[in-house]
Amino acid sequence: MPYVIVNGLRIFYELRGNVNSKETIAFFNGVMASVSSWAYYVPVFERLGFKVLLHDFKGQLLSDKPAGPYTFREHAAEAKSLMDQLGIDRVHLVGTSYGGEVALRFAIDYPDMVKSLCVIDSASELDQLLISFIESWKRLALEGEPEKFYWGVVPALYSEEYLLREFEAVKKRAELFNKVSKDYFFGQVQLYKTFLKDLNLTPELHKIMCPTLVVCGENDILKPPKVLKNYFNSHRR
């Protein structure tokens, strides 16, 4: 499997599409996800001629999982190191949830590298409901029981409409979750600790200067549209 070494850690990545293209799009994963979570989207950009970069943050499924907590600045710096090693100097960023928060940090810290930014279901700061959800996930991850963990996070991930329509598929995913390794849960705990300790991006959002698209599901209970108000207010300054 392809890895780069960043600060002594193995970071898993995939480089797809037109590897000679000057237009690169990088996808940043949600906290529980891996590079495979973008499988439906990558072919679209491959057909459009993009170079497509995927990677797992440290703590995620296919990368090393050192003891944390980490920081979002570390994640951004490690993504930059990956891009530097691959000769990528400018990029379009798409990040969902935790990956969106890393993308915000990346755009703040490396503005000259970011051509455009798309942030999906992300937050720039914590509220009490979000803290409560993440604390419950952390406790489930510490128990390390795959199906129990999966069913514990389902209410925050899927709408009632989706569950009614796709419940059999959700049940199959729960069964497949039994195949994840024990170190997956150790990594999840480190990522949740990072989120709870370090998510405070709102004061710096005005530093993001690139064209930016913010996407949020109107029925999202974990990171509802109201949490994005600070984002828009910061950009109106």
State pLDDT tens for residues 141-198. Answer: 999 999 999 999 999 999 999 999 999 999 999 999 999 999 999 999 999 999 999 9
Angle at 187 between CA 116 and CA 60, to 5 degrees: 35
Query: What is the pLDDT, as a whole number, of residue 217?
Result: 87
Query: What is the pLDDT, as a whole number, of residue 219?
Result: 84
> Over pLDDT 90: what percentage of the chain?
89
> How would residue 45 be classed by pLDDT, with cut points 50, 70 and 90?
very high
234 has pLDDT over 70: no
Query: What is the pLDDT, as a whole number, of residue 97?
Result: 97
Domains and CATH numbers, the chain: 3-235 (3.40.50.1820)
Among candidate residues 83, 141, 135, 151, the one with its CA nearest the CA of residue 112: 83
235 has pLDDT over 60: no
For the segment 102-131, the average pLDDT, to the nearest whole number, is: 96
Find out whether 71 and 39 touch, Cβ atoms under 8 Å: no
Which backbone phi and psi does 28 adopt, to 5 degrees? -110, 125
d(CA 181, CA 28): 22
Other CB atoms within a 10 A radius of the CB of residue 199 amount to: 21
Query: What is the pLDDT, as a whole number, of residue 218?
Result: 85
Phi/psi region, residue 69 (left: phi>0; alpha: psi -120 to 50; beta: rest), is beta
| Tokens found for residue 153 | 């996070």
Among candidate residues 27, 92, 77, 89, the one with its CA nearest the CA of residue 56: 27
**Per-residue CA distances from 116 to 47, 95, 124, 218 (Å):** 19, 11, 18, 23
Find out whether 52 and 46 touch, Cβ atoms under 8 Å: yes
70 has pLDDT over 70: yes
Find out whether 141 and 117 touch, Cβ atoms under 8 Å: no
233 has pLDDT over 70: no
For the segment 119-125, the average pLDDT, to the nearest whole number, is: 94
pTM of the model: 0.95
Among candidate residues 219, 155, 195, 191, the one with its CA nearest the CA of residue 60: 191
> How would residue 130 be classed by pLDDT, with cut points 50, 70 and 90?
very high
Query: What is the pLDDT, as a whole number, of residue 224?
Result: 83
Which residues lie closer than 8 Å to 213 by C-beta, 6 or more apart? 116, 117, 118, 119
